[in-house]
Structure 1
Amino acid sequence: MNVPKCSVEENRELNDILQDVSLPSKTHATQPVYYGGPLRNIPYITTYPGTITLTMICTEESRVRNRFYDWLETVVSGTNGLVNYASEYLGDQMEITVVNNPKKIPTGPSNEAIKYTLFDVFPDSINEVTLSQNSQNDYLRLSVAMMYRKWIKGELPDQPLDTNDLTFPGGPLRLA
């Protein structure tokens, strides 16, 4: 996974601590139309729910966690409550790559990798982290909800697949 507003080192750390990511979705808005007979729903626009969630393991000295808190602060200032201009907080694009075999680095279009590219992304919220006496032998997990304007599946024209992207196995994710 490559996240805008993060350095190369922070993206590497994110790929190490990332536990779950929800893939983007889209739907078609429809309008019922009568053509003689039963009504038919005809699509007229693609809509994007616009939210994915990243869940990562919290480490004591996580640069990524701090980067997300700093990035969230650029959307609406916590000190004065002012909303910044979109150019101040929007990341151009965020890439998620899903690979069937996590031990194999994607080598090109013949590999069974799926790439999602999200546009105009920014963190919408950082969810609460629950501290519990019952979970003293468990990891702390941080969930970040990311907003996006739209997404595409597949390669961007003339853009090679980046081997630093997140690689999830094709099957169910193994939780720590």
Structure 2
Amino acid sequence: MGLQLAWTNEQQELEISDELIATLELLLQKAGKAEGVEDGEVALTFVDDRQIHELNKEYRGIDRPTDVLSFAMNEYTDEELDIVYELEEGEELADLPEMLGDIIISVNRAKAQSEEYGHSLEREIGFLFVHGFLHLLGYDHQDKESEAEMMGKQEAVLAEVGLTR
């Protein structure tokens, strides 16, 4: 089955190209391989600052926009899956990919940060995507040690596909 990327675009700032999606799919495969994750689905949504601001306030209690949000789906019940997936006749829950979670990226923040850091928008979106994916797997950056570990993993994956600074 492998790792799968399902994406939606809910913003008007940037046209999401096939090339960008191909790069993100490659990043997902590389990051998954590095972490020993062979199967699952990641849902990616591109939004604007207003939308991510609302989500950040609602789910994290932080009243400002951010660049990326991740919502891991580590535990769920069959009833919850029935709501998310409409099963076809003869299809069973075991046939579905495990939903690893949702990653939401603010295109406005990504554009501003790519300019601030002096690298491409594709690199910034790739960075935010890998960052969000690692959060789905349980990584965090609450202290300097865990932040350094996470940054190292992100940069290694980005370098594998040529998205360097």
Interval containing the TM-score (normalised by the shorter chain): under 0.3
Higher strand share: 1
Larger Rg: 1
Tell me the TM-score normalized by structure 1.
0.27
Higher helix share: 2
Tell me the TM-score normalized by structure 2.
0.28
